[in-house]
């Protein structure tokens, strides 16, 4: 019973915490934004290189009859387009899930649904009298 009540209080306490991202509260946020934008620029350049090199390998593989080179070239082109899509859509995906998560709410705990304690121990208040705990039949 003590465990259930404590976990219910912890749930109520955690439900009161709110997370609201605020740029003005984070020191060094502009440097971090610059770092992420720089990484995105490198990723876009890598995507263009993957599409170009994959296209060259695909074309030469088809022209020369090299099936392996053609397959690797196709994979490179698809990987380059996939990387470009992820770089372009990353902010939209993150913002979507941030807004969706911000609208989620936890249900209020129902204290009447708490289960009864598994073991109850009664202690007599008579001084000098010691009671043995009840035996549990197996």
pLDDT in tens, 30-57: 999 999 999 999 999 999 999 999 999 9
Helix (H), strand (E) at residue 42: helix 29-64
pTM of the model: 0.60
DSSP category for residue 23: G
- Higher pLDDT among residues 93 and 133, named by residue: 93
Residue 11 has pLDDT above 60, yes or no: no
pLDDT at residue 72 is higher than 70: yes
Return the pLDDT at 102: 81
The DSSP H or E segment spanning 11 is helix 2-15
Report pLDDT for 1.
45
pLDDT at residue 130 is higher than 70: no
Mean confidence (pLDDT) of the chain: 82
pLDDT at 2 over 60: no
Residue in the structure block whose two tokens are 């009671």: 131
Give the up-direction half-sphere exposure of residue 53: CA atoms within 13 A in the CB hemisphere: 11
Give the model's pLDDT for residue 110. 73
């Amino acid at each position: 019973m003590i465990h259930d009540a404590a976990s219910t209080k912890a749930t109520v306490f955690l439900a009161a915490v709110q997370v609201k991202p605020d740029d003005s509260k984070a020191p060094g946020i502009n440097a971090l934004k610059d770092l992420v934008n720089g990484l995105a620029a490198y990723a876009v350049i890598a995507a263009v290189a993957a599409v170009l090199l994959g296209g060259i390998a695909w074309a030469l593989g088809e022209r020369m009859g090299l099936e392996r080179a053609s397959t690797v070239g196709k994979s490179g082109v698809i990987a380059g387009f996939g990387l470009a899509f992820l770089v372009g859509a990353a902010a939209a995906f993150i913002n979507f899930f941030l807004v969706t998560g911000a609208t989620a709410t936890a249900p209020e705990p129902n204290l009447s649904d708490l289960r009864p304690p598994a073991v109850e121990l009664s202690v007599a208040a008579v001084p000098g009298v010691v009671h043995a705990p009840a035996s549990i039949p197996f």
